[in-house]
């Protein structure tokens, strides 16, 4: 066959022909390559899945070398410019953009599921006053599986879709409640007259006076939600699929995905960028900071990406979005440090040769800070829009006949068999 890989095992001299499908070989096909009859067979060793495909997906396409990101074939630039978050969520879930009646019905379905059970408030009241909002979100997501026991029927497509709508609707409410708990403020109920992001802003920032979301802030947050809706098989999505492969309910699986996002190498990256900019302090200090980066004294946060080896297409959109927000709240002085840092880094061969370009995290923290979101809410602001991506990937997984429970192999490096020694005889 022409679409195949021929491998010669130099241990035995035997030759094997493995089929190539979609630019991959099946890892299990390597098992036939054995040194002798007692040999287990070859495995691949790929910590971090650097070059291993774990699934087939038709949701998100990324070309990291070309700086391309598409949802269901649509460029992220077009969706950020012309679509809304809920319209993009419909696209990600269903594969096609909705008609006007479909979009109206979808928006109504989400808008009228935003209320959470009153016992959720009691649950959140049990957290300490300084509990991290992301920790509260993760715990509450897990607890929600007990409110919807029928959600465990994951083989029922209609039941899956019901839970998907519930989660997309309720995660902003839970997130806002976590913030209000953190701040010692009373919870604010959802307002069905507002948009998805407008309602979230009101639940966050309502005080004694009536709160009317600023249209520019509302739109900016909506665009940020579009940009973060899905991003292929990242750490959080891999966790969603891996946990979900056991056929657990989506609330428990999403708690696992959110826990993965909680890590500073994933959803906490924009917080690290903001702290770096605060450490630099002034645009005049950027050159010295760059020198320290080259000397490996400090890290350059917000540059480079596991996938993108070009300018992250989301970063360019967020950069422009920052100026829209500044028109409302005033210019964040951090932007001057960021611009100078980006300018020097993009002209310096040290960074260009390593393909270290700004990623989406580089400017999002600046925007969130300007919008008065506290730093510990940043990963929560990532989790809200990523909900639809996690759930779409989870739903796709359950429709994939190749899906099986995630159970990777290992290379054992411990002792061979040895005998137990009673405690009194141990040296």
CA distance 196 to 203: 11
CA distance 218 to 325: 10
CB contact set of 16 (below 8 Å; sequence gap of 6+): 6, 7, 8, 9, 32, 33
First to last CA, the chain: 62
CB contact set of 220 (below 8 Å; sequence gap of 6+): 321, 324, 325, 367, 371
Contact predicate 193/174, CB 8 Å: no
State the catalytic residue, choosing from 222, 230, 361, 376: 361
Bridge partners of residue 60, in order along the sequence: 71
CA distance 365 to 28: 43
Alpha helix stretches (DSSP H) within 38-156: 76-82, 85-94, 100-111, 118-125, 133-144
Whole-Å CA distances, 308 to 53, 312, 315, 412 = 17, 6, 11, 33
CA distance 216 to 177: 23
305 noted as active-site residue? yes
State the catalytic residue, choosing from 305, 312, 376, 395: 305
The rounded Cα 425 to chain-centroid distance in angstroms is 52
Question: If you ran DSSP here, which 8-state letter would residue 116 be given?
Answer: -
The rounded Cα 18 to chain-centroid distance in angstroms is 34
Question: If you ran DSSP here, which 8-state letter would residue 358 be given?
Answer: B
3-state SS, residue 288: helix
Q: 303 phi and psi, to 5 degrees?
A: -120, 145
Among candidate residues 214, 241, 194, 204, the one with its CA nearest the CA of residue 380:
204
81 noted as active-site residue? no
CA distance 383 to 237: 11
Q: Which active-site residues does the annotation give?
A: 305, 361
């Amino acid at each position: 066959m022409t679409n195949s890989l021929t491998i010669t095992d130099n241990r035995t001299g035997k030759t094997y022909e493995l089929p190539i499908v979609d630019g991959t070989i099946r890892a299990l096909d390597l098992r036939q390559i054995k040194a002798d009859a007692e040999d287990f067979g070859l495995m691949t060793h790929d910590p971090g899945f650097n070059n291993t495909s774990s699934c087939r997906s038709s949701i998100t396409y990324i070309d990291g070398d070309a700086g391309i990101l598409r949802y269901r074939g649509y460029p992220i630039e077009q969706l950020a410019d012309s679509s809304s978050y809920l319209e993009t969520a419909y696209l990600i879930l269903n594969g096609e953009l909705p008609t006007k009646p479909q979009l109206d019905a979808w928006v109504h379905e989400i808008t009228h599921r935003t209320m959470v059970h009153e016992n959720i408030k009691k649950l959140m009241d049990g957290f300490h006053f300084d509990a991290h909002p992301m920790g509260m979100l993760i715990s509450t997501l897990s607890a929600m599986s007990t409110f919807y026991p029928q959600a465990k029927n994951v083989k029922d497509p209609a039941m899956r879709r019901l839970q998907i709508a519930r989660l997309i609707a309720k995660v902003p409410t839970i997130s806002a409640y976590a913030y209000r708990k953190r701040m010692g403020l009373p919870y604010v109920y959802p307002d069905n007259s507002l948009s998805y992001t407008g309602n979230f802003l009101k639940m966050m920032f309502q005080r004694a006076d009536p709160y009317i979301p600023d249209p520019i802030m509302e739109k900016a947050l909506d665009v940020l939600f579009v940009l973060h809706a899905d991003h292929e098989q990242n750490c959080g999505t891999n966790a969603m699929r891996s946990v979900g492969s056991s056929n657990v309910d989506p609330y428990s699986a999403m708690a696992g995905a959110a826990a993965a996002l909680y890590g500073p190498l994933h959803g906490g990256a924009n917080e690290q960028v903001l702290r770096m900019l605060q450490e630099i302090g002034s645009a005049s200090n950027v050159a010295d900071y760059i020198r320290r980066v080259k000397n490996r004294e400090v890290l350059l946060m917000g540059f480079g990406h596991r996938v993108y080896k070009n300018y992250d297409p989301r970063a360019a959109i967020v950069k422009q979005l920052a100026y829209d927000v500044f028109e409302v709240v005033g210019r964040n002085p951090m932007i001057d440090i960021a611009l100078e840092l980006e300018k020097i880094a993009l002209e310096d061969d040290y960074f260009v040769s390593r393909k270290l370009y700004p990623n989406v995290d580089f400017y999002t923290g600046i925007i969130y800070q300007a919008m008065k979101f506290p730093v510990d809410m940043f990963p929560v602001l990532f989790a809200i829009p990523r909900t639809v991506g996690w759930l779409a990937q989870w739903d796709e997984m359950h429709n994939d006949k190749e899906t099986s429970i995630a159970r990777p192999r290992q290379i054992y490096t411990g002792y061979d068999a040895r005998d137990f020694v009673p405690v009194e005889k141990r040296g």
